[in-house]
Each structure stands twice: as C-alpha cells, then as structure tokens.
Structure 1
Amino acid sequence: MKFMKELTKAEKIKKVESYRWIVWSILAIMYIFVTFHRMAPGVVKNDLQEAFNVGVAQFANIGSMYFYAYFIMQIPSGILADKLGPKKTVFIFSLLAAVGSVAFGMAPNISVAYISRFAVGIGVSVIFICLIKIQSRWFYSRNFALMIGFVGLAANLGAVIAQTPLVIAVSHFGWRSTFVYMGVAMLLFAILALIFVKDDPKDVGLPGMDELENRPQVSVDINVIDALKSVIGNKRTWVISLPYIGLYTGYVILFGTYGISFIMQAYGISKIAAANYIIFAIVGSAVSGLVIGYLSDKFKNRKIPLILCSLITLLGWILFIIFKVPQSLLAPFLFVFGFVMTGFTMCWTVGNEVNDRNLSGVATGVVNCIGFLGAAVVPVVMGKIIDANKALPEVGYRKAFMVLIVIVCVGALASFFTKETRGENIYKG
C-alpha cells in the first residue's frame, strides 16, 4: 500500500491498465466454461438420450434445467455483483458449478441429471454479470461495447469447445468423464479468481475509473428493492429485452440444442461434419462481437446495428429452415448467420446505458433474465413438436423452428423502438 502511494498518478494509471487484464482474463476464461456447459447438450444429445432412455422433449429438459437456473439467478446475480462484489460471488458460486458438473458426469438416472444440470446453471449464472461489473470498474466507458465484444469472443471459444472438440473428447473419454474433468478445471479457476481478482482498482490502492473519467462516484450501498423498482420500472429495459429474446434464443438453439441434429437430419451428414458446420457460425459470432462493438463505439450508434442484425437474422432463419440453404453454401451462410445473430451483445450495452450507472449488475441481470426465459422454454416446446412428428422428423423440425421464427420476428419489430444512447448513459432518474 505504501509502495502504491509513492507512485505518480501516471504510473498508477499504467498499473490499472495492465493489471485489469489479469482480472478480466481470469473471469473471461471462466466464462468459457459457462458457454461450454450451455452448448454441450446439443453435441451429446444422442448419448444422453441413450444413457437415460429419454425422448427429445426430455432431452430438451436436461438442457433447459441450466436455463431455468440461469433465469432464476439473473436478478440475484446482479444484486450480488453490486453488493457482495464480483470476486466473492464468482468464487462461491463456481464451487457449486464444479460440483454440479462432476455430479452430471456421474448421474445414474435422469432425475440426478436434472438436479446436477440445475446446480451447474445456478453456479455459472453469476459469472457473466460479474464480468460486466468488473469491466465497468476497471475499463473506460468509451470502450464498453468493444469489451462486450471481447466477452462475446470468450463465449464463442466455449461454444467452439462444445462442438467438434467435445465430439472428439467424448469419443476418447466418454461423455461422463469429460464433464467430470470440466468440473475439476472449474474448481482450479475458482481458486485463481479468489487469489487474483479485485473488485475495483481502489482495492489495491489504485485510482478507480470514477476518478480517472471524472464521473459520479458509484455507490455500493444499494437498496435492493429500490434498485429492482428502478430497473424493472424502466420501460426502456423491457423494450431492449425483446430483441434479446429473439436473437439469443436463436443463438442457443442453433449452437447448443438443435443446430447439429437439424443439420444432420436435413443434409444427411455425420455428427462431426454437422459440428464442423456449426463452428463456421461460431467463428462468425466471435468476429461479430468485436466488429459490432468497435463500430458501435466508434460511430456512437447502438440502434442501427441492432436493427440490421435483427432483420438479417430473421431472414437467415427463414432461408435456413423454410427454403433450406444448399449444402455448398452452408459454410459461408452460417458464418454470416452467426455474425448477425450476435447482435444481441448490443442489448447488454443498451441495457446498461438506459439505467442508473450504479445498477449495472441489476440492469444486466434483468435483461438476461427476460432473455433466458425464452432460451429455457422455447427448446422444450420445440422438443414436444419434434416428438409429436417422429414419423416425419424433417417435418417435425420445420414445424418446431416456426415457433422460433415467430419469436425472432417479434424481437426484430421491437428493435425499431429501442432508444439510441449515442454511447452514453442517458438515465435521468
């Protein structure tokens, strides 16, 4: 502490700008685990159905248990991030995620599988919001959308691992051992977070972003009820959540629930070949987060990128499901599809900028909560439709995906009514 006091302000700023990457990187790597667990069931779909002797709808419930837990925890996660702090929150809940992953790998029946997946969902539910909170405390406001793009890159690394690499790992170790190993790895990173993550530069005697940007001091003395009333009572929160439901539900279904099985069914190809196609969409998504974030920050515009991404995503689903893209064009199509679908990252940014800066955790939690409800419910509805059309699986898939297309259409319409923030916090109280 004494050493820090002896540094000049310029030297302290330099230390903030270097140490922040250690803090951010640990949480970003942990977010890779979050998206791995989110997307993995789609790859091991047949293995899970065989292991637990269940149909498509019950398989969808295994995946949805994660999203039910995530949905339940989004608002509490925001409160914990704002009051308890990201460091303690991530450490405590990551331990639960690690135990849940190990338990899932050892599950003797479907009931234990449901419970352990729910535990994983509860455990990892806090990481994203804590990462956003860390960014708001360690990074400049002018780079917020770009940093959201980097979060998207971390997310897509997890999604990539949950595709072909997971297929290969399962073929070598089995799906059970793979999930046990992921649980152990999660435990190791939880310990790293406890040791190295700091909630704010001021925790290590460095100047905070409020001081460096000459912005109002953020208070940690937050009244939970008042915070929820503020965010939930803000109509702009709800408007930005509708495009998020459409874009993100589609993202989850393509990358983690039915994307691989639909491609296998529609094009008559193997699981590895289908997973390789999905990777093109994931790469497009990874590029998108950085490009959209950079351009949005540069031109100070949030609304136009969101509208364009929403409309093109709607068109993409129509082409993909109803008209069936030729296989020769499937790879470039999925790259573009993944790119525009990831416009949902704008929803996180806008959700923060239309709400009180003090409530960044709660605001992100509420937007996520609304969006994850769609990701939890829609796959189960689709699974029931697919099960009801077992005799004609291709017809079943197309009917099921029509449910998603309607939701994406509603989100695209809502994007026109979002508030343009020009890259600034516009909350007036």
Structure 2
Amino acid sequence: MDKQNSRFRWVVFASVLVTYLLMASQRTAPGLITDQVMREFHVTASTIGLLTSIQFFVYTGLQIPMGILADRYGPNFFLIVGAILTGLGTIIYSLGTHEFVLFFSRILTGIGDATIWVNMVLILGQWFKVKEFVRLIGFAGMAGSLGFLLATVPFTAWIGLLGWRAAFFSTGLLLCLSGILLYFVLIKKPKQLNEPAAVKNEIRREKTLPLLRRIFSNRQAWALFFCHFGIVGAYVGFIGSWAVPYAMDVYGMTRSDASQLIMIGMIGALMSAPLTSWLSSRLGTIKRPYVVVHIGILLCWATFLLFNGRPPFFMLIILFFIIGFGYGASALTFAVVRQSFPIIDSGVISGFANTGGFLSAVLLPSIFGIVLDHFQLGRGTIGDGYYHGFITPVIFSMIGLVGVIFIKEKSQGTEKSR
C-alpha cells in the first residue's frame, strides 16, 4: 500500500482530527466551571490559576522530549497512549473530592495532551504529500478550534443537563474510546494492508545533546518559539481560565451568555485556520499575512487597556472575534517549520515552537489570578484587577510580533520538496 496515494489516508486524517477535537476541548472546558470549583473546593483565584496552568506546564515541558521521541520511534504509539491518558485524567477530574485530586487529574491530562500536536503533524507528513501539507495543517488547526468551540455553549448545555461531574466523566470515556479507535486505524489496519504502521528510519540518528545544542542555537527556531509564544498563550490561557469569570464579573452576564461570547472567538479561530493557510499558499508567502495577524492581535489586547478593561459590548464582540481569528492562524507556525527544516527534524522543531506557545499559556492564568487576588483583597475593585491583568497579554503579544518579524522564509514558489 502506498500511504500517500491510498484512500485509507482520509480515514487516518478524520480519526486523528476527531481525537484532536476532543482533546482540545478539555484544555478550556474547566474554565466553564471556575466559579463552581472555587465554591465547592473553597479555593482562591490564585489556586484556580495554578490549576489551569499546571496542565499547560506539563504540556509545555513535554513538547521537546515528545518531538525527539516521535522523530525516533514514530508518532502512532504516543498518540494512542496520549488519547487514553487524557481520557483517564478527565474521568479522575470528574470524580475528584479534593483539590489535590484535581491537580493530579490535570497533570495526567497534560501528559496526554502533550502527545497530540507534534505526533499529528508527523502522521500527516507520513500519509500525505508535501504539496497537501499547508492546506491540511490549516484544517488540523480548525479541528482544534472546533474543540474549543465544543467547550463553550454545547459543553455548557451538557453541564446544565448532567451536572459538571457527569459531563466531564462522559467526555473522558469518549476520549478513551478514541484511543482504542486510533489503535485500529494507525496500527492494526495498516498491518493488515501489508504496510508497517511506522516506517523505520535508516537515517543516522543524531545524539540528543548535540541535537538540542543545534536547535537552541538556531535563530529560526527561536523566532518560531517567540512567534508562537505571542499568538497562542494569551488566547488559550485567558479563554481556559478567566474569560467566563471576566464576562460575568465585569458585564454581569450569565454563564450561558458568557460562553456564547467566547464562542464568537472560537468561530473566528475556526474560520481563520483554513483561510490563512489558503491565503499564504495563494500569496506564496507565510510571513507577510502572519505579521498582519500578530499586529491585529496586539492592537486588540491593547484596546482592553485603552477602555480600562471594559470596552463597549459591541466592541468586545469584535475583539473576541479578531483575537480568536489570530489564534486560528497559529497553524502557520508549523507551515514555516515544514518549509524551513528537514523532515527528520520536524518533530523536535515543532515541539520547540509549540513549547513557546504553551509556555505563555502556563504563565498567563497564574499571573492573571495573582493580579485579581491582589485587587480583591481590598486594594481595588474587580474591574481594576481585570484592567491590570490585561497588561500581560499585551506584553505577550508584543513578544510574538518580534518573533514573527525575525522569521526568515523561503519563497513557496521556489521551495524544493523535502
């Protein structure tokens, strides 16, 4: 069986993307019940910020090791195990009776979640031709945005119907079943078709320390790291922890209305992933549209400061949409990786770039929670807390803009396939 010409590759594509959709939903779904967890477990905003951050901390810390392992041993096994671990972590979260159980569950979920993106990128590289990659990476990004979208109004309704514990338990069970499905799609079926699940790489393996030294001394790798730092973390970190409380505290919205507001950002991300991939392919450049996206995100976060943390409601809708649209374009980071580095390094470079994105997702919820606690302890109003909290995504976005400016790219029209 020729993988890149087989119709079965679309079964692989669909299975992997559905799993990514479900796993992505569990990055932000806990943000829907922030106030309930605070009341039920009697914890502070700082603790909630740490609870949100710890999953991203684990995810971030494992990106480079996961890239090395996936490059050396193949992506299939790690993705299957990751889906099951994410499911188990979500189930344990639903059964938690103490805050330490919640922390353990989010650590387990973070370990599982750390497997998805790097391995998915490599799997797409195995099953699809180079010319299809930029377009498909956009659809992969769209699947992640659909996952975030699922964790808004639909998951809010699911929580309202079953209660938060049953809603998370059922989602965890579905993730475990997805891991089992991936085993049949990625390993068992290819073997039946006389195609090994992972092609043994005969290229001489570079030792880990020299490989890391080479990556850490590469200017392009650092540009991608900081580019992804600015575009991912501010959005994911805020949506996953403080967006719902912000809408409820500052605008007096209900939980359902707040989740609808967030859904607007998700729709922007959903539209952006395939659109920006198509546009960059059409223009023959990734960098120019990506710079425009970063500038737009920076201006949006700065607008929150301009209006003292409470822009007019109609403007708030526009801001959430544009910020979400910018996040959807983050798949372009990995199009640059594919363009700039040989295929044997794509796993570790993708992991390094992704580390930047989710490092900021680790930092933002905790910083935001500390700022809110400071102003809630009699030193100001809750509105003051959110206003000063928005300084963090502004700074992060500035770092992202610097990163994307320093990216060097080859013309797509003259790029040779690797």
**Both structures adopt the same fold (TM-score exceeding 0.5):** yes
- Report the equivalent of 2:205: 222
Separation in structure 1 between the aligned mates of residue 388 and residue 206 of structure 2, nearest angstrom: 46
Q: How does 1:223-372 map to 2 (within 5 A)?
A: 223-225=206-208, 226-323=210-307, 324-372=310-358
Q: How does 1:138-149 map to 2 (within 5 A)?
A: 138-149=127-138
* Conservation of the 8 A alpha-carbon contact between 1:310 and 1:343: no
* Conservation of the 8 A alpha-carbon contact between 2:35 and 2:245: no
Describe the shift of the 1:304–1:48 C-alpha distance in structure 2 as closer, same or farther (beyond 3 A). same
**Superposition TM-score, scaled by structure 1 size:** 0.89
2:29 to 37, 40, 59: 40
- Name structure 2 gaps, 5 residues minimum: none
SS at match of 2:165: helix
* Conservation of the 8 A alpha-carbon contact between 2:17 and 2:140: yes
Q: Does 2:375 match 1:386?
A: no
SS at match of 1:389: helix
Q: Write out per-residue CA displacement over residues 81-112 of structure 1, whole angstroms, 9 at most, x where no aligned residue.
A: 22222221112232222221111111111111
The alpha-carbon deviation at position 343 of structure 1 amounts to 2.7
Q: Write out per-residue CA displacement over residues 375-427 of structure 1, whole angstroms, 9 at most, x where no aligned residue.
A: 11221011101110014111001101102211211221232111123238979
Separation in structure 1 between the aligned mates of residue 265 and residue 27 of structure 2, nearest angstrom: 16
* Conservation of the 8 A alpha-carbon contact between 1:227 and 1:362: no
Amino acid at match of 1:372: F
Describe the shift of the 1:17–1:332 C-alpha distance in structure 2 as closer, same or farther (beyond 3 A). farther
Separation in structure 1 between the aligned mates of residue 305 and residue 77 of structure 2, nearest angstrom: 44
Alignment: residue pair count: 410
Separation in structure 1 between the aligned mates of residue 131 and residue 284 of structure 2, nearest angstrom: 9
Separation in structure 1 between the aligned mates of residue 130 and residue 237 of structure 2, nearest angstrom: 32
Separation in structure 1 between the aligned mates of residue 331 and residue 192 of structure 2, nearest angstrom: 29
The alpha-carbon deviation at position 205 of structure 1 amounts to 5.1
Q: Percent identity over the alignment?
A: 26
- Name structure 1 gaps, 5 residues minimum: 5-11, 211-216
Describe the shift of the 1:111–1:224 C-alpha distance in structure 2 as closer, same or farther (beyond 3 A). farther
Moved over 6 A (4+): 199-203, 424-427
Separation in structure 2 between the aligned mates of residue 425 and residue 347 of structure 1, nearest angstrom: 19
**Superposition TM-score, scaled by structure 2 size:** 0.91
1:160 to 135, 141, 149: 149
Q: Does 2:177 match 1:188?
A: yes
Separation in structure 2 between the aligned mates of residue 108 and residue 61 of structure 1, nearest angstrom: 18
SS at match of 1:257: coil
1:95 to 77, 84, 103: 84
SS at match of 1:422: coil
- Report the equivalent of 1:62: 51
Describe the shift of the 1:18–1:153 C-alpha distance in structure 2 as closer, same or farther (beyond 3 A). same
* Conservation of the 8 A alpha-carbon contact between 1:149 and 1:293: yes
- Report the equivalent of 1:172: 161
Amino acid at match of 1:101: T
Describe the shift of the 1:218–1:424 C-alpha distance in structure 2 as closer, same or farther (beyond 3 A). farther
